[in-house]
Chains A and B, each alone.
Chain A
Amino acid sequence: MSDFISSEFISAAIAFLLTISILSYLFGDNALFRSAVHIFVGVSAGYVAAVVWNQVLAPQLFRPIFEGAPNEKINASIVLFLAFLLMMKAIPPLSKFGTPSVAIMVGVGAAVAIGGAVTGTLFPQMMATINVFDLQAANERGVSSGIQFVEGGLMLFGTISTLVYFQFSAKRGDDGKTRHNPLIKLLVLIGKVFIAITFGVLFAGVFSAALTAFIERLDFLITFIAP
Chain B
Amino acid sequence: MTKFFAPAIAIAVGLLVLLGYFLPNSSLAGIRVIIVQWAVILAGVAFFVGVINLLTVHIKKISGKGKGKVYSLLLVFSLLITLVVGLFSSSALNTIFNAVILPVESSLLAIMAVTLIYAGIRLLRHRNDLMAVIFLFTALIVMLGSAPLPFIENPFMGIRPWIVSVLATSGARGILLGVALGTLFTGLRILIGADRPYGGK
Chain A positions within 8 Å of B, measured between CB atoms, are 7, 10-12, 14-16, 18-19, 22-23, 25-26, 34-54, 56-57, 60-61, 75, 78-79, 82-83, 86-87, 89-90, 96, 99-118, 120-122, 125-126, 128-129, 151, 154-163, 165-166, 191-211, 213-214, 216-217, 220
Contacts and interface: CB of A to CB of B under 8 A. Distances in A.
A61 B41 contact: yes
B175 interface: yes
Interface string B132-143: 101111111011
Given A39-B74, A112-B36, A200-B138, 18 more contacts: A15-B98, A19-B104, A23-B107, A23-B111, A36-B104, A47-B93, A50-B85, A52-B47, A54-B90, A89-B46, A104-B13, A104-B39, A106-B197, A114-B188, A114-B191, A198-B168, A199-B135, A209-B109
A83 B45 CA distance: 6
Contacts of A204: 138-140, 142-143, 146
Interface in B5-20: 5-7, 9-18
A166 B178 contact: yes
A112 B45 CA distance: 19
B49 A90 contact: yes
Interface of B: 2, 5-7, 9-18, 21-22, 34-49, 51-54, 70-72, 74-83, 85-87, 90, 93, 95-114, 116-117, 120, 131-132, 134-140, 142-143, 146, 163-164, 166-181, 183-184, 186-188, 190-191, 197-200
A194 B174 contact: yes
Given A34-B71, A99-B6, A196-B135, A206 B171 contact: no
A45 to B, nearest CB: 5
Contact of A104 (B42, B83, B135, B180): B42
Closest 9 CB pairs of A and B: A162-B174, A50-B86, A200-B138, A46-B82, A158-B170, A198-B171, A42-B78, A22-B107, A107-B14
B56 to A, nearest CB: 8
Given A51-B86, A111-B21, A86 B75 contact: no
A156 B66 CA distance: 57
Nearest to B13: A107
B93 A50 contact: yes
Among B71, B72, B76, the most chain A Cβ lie within 10 Å of the Cβ of B71
A125 B177 contact: yes
Q: Is the interface of B mostly helix, strand, loop or mixed?
A: helix
B167 A158 contact: yes
10 contacts: A89-B46, A104-B38, A111-B15, A115-B17, A154-B170, A159-B177, A196-B134, A198-B172, A200-B139, A204-B146
Contacts of A206: 112, 116
Contact of A47 (B11, B77, B97): B97
Contacts of B187: 110-111, 113-114, 117
A75 B75 CA distance: 36
Given A99-B199, A114-B184, A194 B171 contact: yes
